[in-house]
Amino acid sequence: MDLWEKFGMSEGIAELWQELGISAGTAIVVLAALYFVIKWAVKNGMMEAYKKIEEKSARDNLKADKTVSDLRTKDEDINGKA
C-alpha cells in the first residue's frame, strides 16, 4: 500500500510528487518545515511593524508634549504664573 493512497491524495497530485521523485514522508516533512518558516516570518514581520508603530506613537507624543511645554513657557513667568 502506497502512502499516497493511505493519506487519500488524489491520483494527479500523487503522480506529480512521484514525478519529482519525492515520497509521501519527504513531502510531509517539507510541507511542515515550510509551514513553520512562514509562521516565523509572519510573526517577526508583525513584531517589527508593531515596534515601528510604537516608535512613531512615542515620537508623536514627545512632539505633542514639547509643543504644550513651549506654549506654557511663552505665556508663563518663572513661577508658572501668567
Q: Where are the domains of the chain?
A: 3-75
Query: 38-57 burial by CB neighbour count: b if 16+ within 10 A, else e?
Result: eeeeeeeeeeeeeeeeeeee
Average pLDDT over residues 25-38: 91
pLDDT in tens, 49-61: 999 999 998 888 8
Look at residue 25 and tell me whether its pLDDT is greater than 90: no
Question: HSE-up of 82 (CA within 13 Å, CB side)?
Answer: 3
Report residue 9's pLDDT band, with 50, 70 and 90 as the boundaries.
low
- Residue 24's nearest CA partner among 38, 48, 8 is 8
